[in-house]
Amino acid sequence: MTYTRALLALFVLAAASSVQSAPAGQDSFGVPLPSGVAKFSPEGFPITNEGTELHLVQTEADVPATWVPEARIWELKQKDVDFMDITLQPNLARNADETRRKQQLPKPKNFAPSLGASQVLNEIQPIIDSTNTELIKSSLTKLTSFYNRYYRSTYGTQSATWLFEEVKRLAGQAKPGLTVTVNQFKHSFNQPSVIARIDGEAGVDETVIIGSHQDSVNSQNRQGRAPGADDDGSGTSSVLEAFRALIASDFKPKRPIEFHWYAGEEAGLLGSQDIAASYQNAGRKVAGMLQLDMTGTPANGRPNEIGFVSDNVNEALTKTVEGLADQVLPGVTHKRFRCGYGCSDHASWTKAGYPSAFPFESAGLSDNRNIHSTADTIDKVNFDHVLRFSKLAIAYAVTLSSQ
């Protein structure tokens, strides 16, 4: 988060200080509730006697979370301030040290031919060569046809249901010998997340995760038109094509590979927090989590450059994916940049104690000013750029699942 963004966050949260009265009680997680809470919404958010829905919001890792009215969340969104709504999952950071202790995973090696990567490259290249933009175009066309994919709208539930059926259709094309499952992850809100899994070898439980978020939002009118082509229809489509190509290939992973399409990212990483918490609570091991959020708009004048997020990620895993980009995306350069606290779903996994990495469509957040509006449309998407991230996701999945 930039200095300006940090000041904006403090200003917006300070404006909600009237909500922060002495706690009248505590919720089931032991987080103090503000006074005047009369009931809870069906999703689990507290509601005051005056009918105001409250959310526990955090804008920096080292800044205490603050209870704010729901309207303040959308002020943060309108001002491009990153945040996590931790109302439903306040314990991710608290349990992270125990998660890391249970992991006991070796750091992924920095990927380079001198480290014996040529054998892995030989497995990666045929899969990458099989990729194309056909599925990317068709899935983006369908995703943007929904009026919006807002997590609390009927359209958001409909789009998630379509995505679930589409992933199941693709899973039906898997090569014989692969065990592929597709499930919905239900949340307290109506929009479900979708998880597809390729089983690994028996007894190997360190999961390799590739994620994106399926929801969209219009920050000026959250129930309004929000095609969400780049944010994040592009990342959703990148993951779909990576999934299709991997299960159609002859590759069989040692470690299981999962593909996640998260609900409720735009409202504070709600879906990914729920899933990361469930893995944390179950003692699940995660070898790495790769987030693909916005893959369709290269920077003006720099069509062959991508970015890597430098904050709230795992350094060793990021270096590994950067090395893979050098190998499988010839002619593409990359730079690092700061994304800010809670800028996408990788932050949920990092907060929970799992290693994550986040490649991005460009080396900065300001290159696409159409997101969160009616102008984030499919005609502005560079499909070949979206495909680059499918290829990178394939390389990442093969590399990490082969260890």
Which residues have a Cβ under 8 Å from the Cβ of 109 and sit 6 or more positions away? 115, 320
Domains (ranges, CATH) in the chain? Answer: 3-87 (no CATH), 97-401 (3.40.630.10)
35 to 29, 58, 159, 269: CA distances (angstroms): 17, 19, 37, 26
Residue 31: per-residue pLDDT: 60
Residues recognised as catalytic: 213, 231, 265-266, 293, 372
Residue 379: per-residue pLDDT: 98
Residue 110: per-residue pLDDT: 58
Which of 89, 3, 105 is CA-nearest to residue 314?
Answer: 105
Residue 33: per-residue pLDDT: 87
- Tell me how far apart the alpha carbons of residues 305 and 385 are, in angstroms, rounded to a whole number: 10
Which of 394, 387, 345 is CA-nearest to residue 185?
Answer: 345
Residue 19: per-residue pLDDT: 37
Residue 109: per-residue pLDDT: 62
Note whether 33 and 27 are within 8 A (CB).
yes
pTM: 0.92
Note whether 354 and 282 are within 8 A (CB).
no
- Tell me how far apart the alpha carbons of residues 214 and 228 are, in angstroms, rounded to a whole number: 9
- Tell me how far apart the alpha carbons of residues 202 and 263 are, in angstroms, rounded to a whole number: 30
- Tell me how far apart the alpha carbons of residues 9 and 68 are, in angstroms, rounded to a whole number: 12
DSSP type of residue 18: G
Q: In the block, which residue shows the tokens 């999961």? A: 207
| Blockwise average pLDDT, block size 10, the chain, 403 residues | 41 41 36 86 96 96 92 92 96 93 77 52 94 99 99 99 99 97 99 99 96 98 98 99 98 98 98 98 97 97 97 96 96 97 97 98 90 98 99 97 90
- Tell me how far apart the alpha carbons of residues 386 and 28 are, in angstroms, rounded to a whole number: 42
Dihedral angle at the C-alpha atoms of 167, 273, 315, 401, nearest 10 degrees? -30
Overall residue count recorded for the chain in this entry: 403
The amino acid sitting at 24 is: A
Which of 395, 255, 273 is CA-nearest to residue 325?
Answer: 395
